[in-house]
Every structure is written in C-alpha cells, then in structure tokens.
Amino acid sequence: MHSMDHDTSPDDRIAGGAALIREADALLIGAGAGMGVDSGLPDFRGPEGFWRAYPMFRGKRFEEMSNPRWFDADPALAWGFFGHRLQLYRQASPHAGFACLRRWGEGKPGGCFVFTSNVDGQFQKAGFEDSHVLECHGSIHFLQCTRNCGLGIWPAEGVHVDVDEATIRASSKLPRCPGCGRVARPNILMFGDWQWDQARTQRQFESYRAWLDVVREMRVAAIEIGAGTAIPTVREECEQLAPHLIRINPHESHVRHGGVGIPAGALDALLKIDALFS
C-alpha cells in the first residue's frame, strides 16, 4: 500500500512515487499550470500571481482578461494579452522534468497519455506524440474565427502580434480569419466562453478514450503535476486512478483516496524520482 499521509518524510514520498511508477504498465500524465513554472512560465496562481506577470492589469482578475468579450469590446487589448502569451510560450523551453516523464512513459508497454489544462504546447515541444496529448482547454498555437463563420480551426504558425510591453496592447495588425476577414482569436476555452470551437479537443478526447480502452486491463499510474483545485478538471481526471496516483503540488498535494502526495515543485520532484531509477 503506497498511501502516504502528511507525517511521511519527503524522501519516503519520493520513494513511494517512484515505486508506483516502476510498477505501472502505463502512465497517465496530468498537468496544470504548475508544470510550466520551472520553464519560466507564470501560473497566474491567485490575483497576486496574475499581477506579478502583468502589473498593468492590477485590480483586474485573470478571469476578467481571459474572456472572449474583449475580442469584441477591445480587440487590441485582447490580442495584447494573448499575443504576449503566444510569444512567451513560443520562447519557453520545456524543463528537464518533461524528458523524465517521456522516458518513463516510453519504457512502459502501454506507453503514456498526457491530459493537460495548459494551453502552452510544451508537451509537444518536449517531444511527446501529438496523438497522445489531450489539451482540455485548447491551445494558444491554434486560432478560430470570433464569429465561427464555419472555417474551423487553423494553426497559428507565422502569426505574430507586436505588443506594447507597457500597456499590453497589440501595436501591429490583428490576426484575422482567412475565411471571412473578421478578427481571429486563440482556440482556447476562456471564461464565460460560448464560442469556443471544441472540434480539435474533441478529437483528442476520442484518442484518449481509445488509449484508455487499450490500457484498461493494465496497471495505470497517474502522475499529476501542478494542477490546482480552482479549476479541478485535471485533478478529477487523475483521481479516478487513485490509489495509483502521484500528486506533485507545492501547495495542494493532499491525496484523499490513497496514493502519494509530494509537496514540491514539478522539476524538483520529477528529478528526485528519476534519480531513483538510475
């Protein structure tokens, strides 16, 4: 039994996590914003985290800015915010923890599947197979029409928005829909968003369900990293695999239904687990 309560030493927790991974035939990797912090990406944790990343939005919440209404009300502001994030995510390099996860997954008969709420595309950049990544909130690297004119979803490759760093407003031409010419938007599920085109994420869900069918009779461990309780999609998905759950989270590592909670950052915990495999 690997269930670890809060009296367990940090080393025992790392060892418990490593044991669950070692015994598994397949891995589900669940990742929230905390996964990107060690790559230098903001996790917007609470209003303070958001304002640290974007001081000019002090007084506004992330939920207010990540909202499709700005594409109507003030598209230069909307594209300032998302254009800035697009540049940030393109420039970021996945930290060494991604390579650990990939290596562990590739060594399993059932392989691994990534279930992430992150829109930054870091798993694909780290060499994970696109067909085994589910981005439940979409991806900043794909665009859609703000009017859903029927064109669907297209890649953001070659799209660049100049952003005034002081105001976080777009200072260049805004990306437009190649179909109807209206302003485009990222294919990301925002807050209060009824226009999000789910087609790409639906296809990923179908691949995920097919993988779950393949590994149904196998021992699957879930490694959940940096997924908070504020939007619990990733946590709930991984909890279904408890007690074979390793939850890595500096603030919210508590595991209710058994498994191992590791109160640490992503890179730190993953490297310590990996050291036990060498």
pLDDT digits (tens, 9 = 90+) for 201-219: 999 999 999 999 999 999 9
Residue 228 is given by DSSP the state -
Give me the number of domains the chain comprises.
Answer: 1
Is residue 80 a part of any domain in this protein?
Answer: yes
The CATH number assigned to the domain holding 264 equals 3.40.50.1220
DSSP H or E stretch at residue 27: strand 26-31
Is residue 4 a part of any domain in this protein?
Answer: no
Is residue 5 a part of any domain in this protein?
Answer: no
Is residue 118 a part of any domain in this protein?
Answer: yes
Is residue 149 a part of any domain in this protein?
Answer: yes
Is residue 3 a part of any domain in this protein?
Answer: no
State pTM to two decimals: 0.95
C-alpha 237: how far from chain center: 13
> Which tens digit of pLDDT belongs to each residue from 145-176?
999 899 999 999 999 999 998 899 999 999 99
Please enumerate, as own/partner, the contacts of 151-158 that have beta carbons within 8 Å and a separation of 24 or more: 151/177, 151/178, 151/179, 151/180, 152/197, 152/199, 153/187, 153/197, 153/199, 153/200, 154/178, 156/86, 156/186
User: Domain of 235?
Assistant: 10-275
Is residue 239 a part of any domain in this protein?
Answer: yes
Is residue 128 a part of any domain in this protein?
Answer: yes
> Which tens digit of pLDDT belongs to each residue from 67-122?
999 999 999 999 999 999 999 999 999 999 999 999 999 999 999 999 999 999 99
pLDDT band at 55 (very low <50, low <70, confident <90, very high): confident
Q: Which residues are catalytic?
A: 137
